[in-house]
């Protein structure tokens, strides 16, 4: 897989991108939403990244791990967009405008609600690492690459986050697990 674009023709490259969207579009979308983008912006971001990936592949660039590449690219896009939104927000505020947030309506219950409510209380970096590790199923090496940190730092964030979750969720249910 060291030169995927040399070995494979356009049809195969096409299937890589489409398959990536089918299998990991939801996680890319969910991840970038957690970075502060609206639903529409997040969906746009996923498509932008996939189209960029496609353009890179057909241009002959070697991309050994398309999935990790996509997460890295979308993380950078989101960071840029996040900064942009903060500055636009400040301008809009001066003009007396405000943005409205939309509530989520998707259903679910039980452990997911409890766990993700606690995840939302974690420091942002720990939240991102947990999402990438468990939801997107990336290795710590890949997470490090996505977020621009070392693999050991990513692992450390995950360990601290899990310890916090374990403590808080154990406490709230009256369990004594450690």
State the residues that interact with another protein by CB under 8 A. Answer: 14, 17-18, 21-22, 25-30, 33-34, 37, 39-48, 50-52, 54-55, 58, 80-81, 83-84, 87-88, 91-92, 95-97, 102, 104-109, 111-116, 119, 130, 133-135, 137, 162, 165-166, 169-170, 173, 175, 177
Nearer CB in complex with another protein: 65/166: 166
How far is 168 from 122, CA to CA, in rounded Å?
11
Three-class DSSP labels, 40-66: HHHHHHHHHHHHHHHHHHHCCCCCCCH
Instruction: In angstroms, give the least distance from the CB of 49 to another protein.
Output: 9
Longest dimension (CA), the chain: 57
How far is 17 from 52, CA to CA, in rounded Å?
10
Nearer CB in complex with another protein: 7/104: 104
Instruction: In angstroms, give the least distance from the CB of 18 to another protein.
Output: 6
Tokens of 171: 């406490």
Nearer CB in complex with another protein: 6/111: 111
Nearer CB in complex with another protein: 2/109: 109
Of 128, 155, 127, 160, whose CA–CA distance to 141 is shortest? 155
């Amino acid at each position: 897989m060291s030169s995927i674009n040399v070995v494979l023709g356009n049809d195969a490259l096409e299937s890589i991108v489409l398959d990536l969207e089918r299998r990991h579009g939801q996680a890319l979308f969910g991840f970038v939403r957690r970075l502060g983008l609206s639903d529409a912006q997040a969906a746009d971001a996923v498509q932008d990244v996939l189209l960029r990936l496609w353009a890179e592949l057909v241009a002959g660039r070697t991309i050994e791990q398309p999935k990790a590449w996509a997460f890295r690219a979308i993380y950078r896009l989101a960071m840029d967009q996040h900064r942009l939104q903060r500055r636009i927000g400040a301008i809009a505020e001066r003009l007396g405008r405000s943005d409205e947030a939309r509530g989520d309506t998707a259903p679910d219950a039980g452990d997911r609600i409890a766990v993700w409510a606690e995840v939302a209380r974690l420091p942002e970096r720990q939240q991102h690492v947990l999402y990438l590790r468990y939801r997107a199923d990336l290795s710590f090496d890949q997470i490090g690459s996505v977020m621009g940190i070392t693999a050991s730092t990513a692992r450390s964030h995950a360990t601290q986050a899990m310890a916090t979750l374990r403590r808080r969720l154990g406490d709230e249910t009256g369990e004594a697990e450690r």
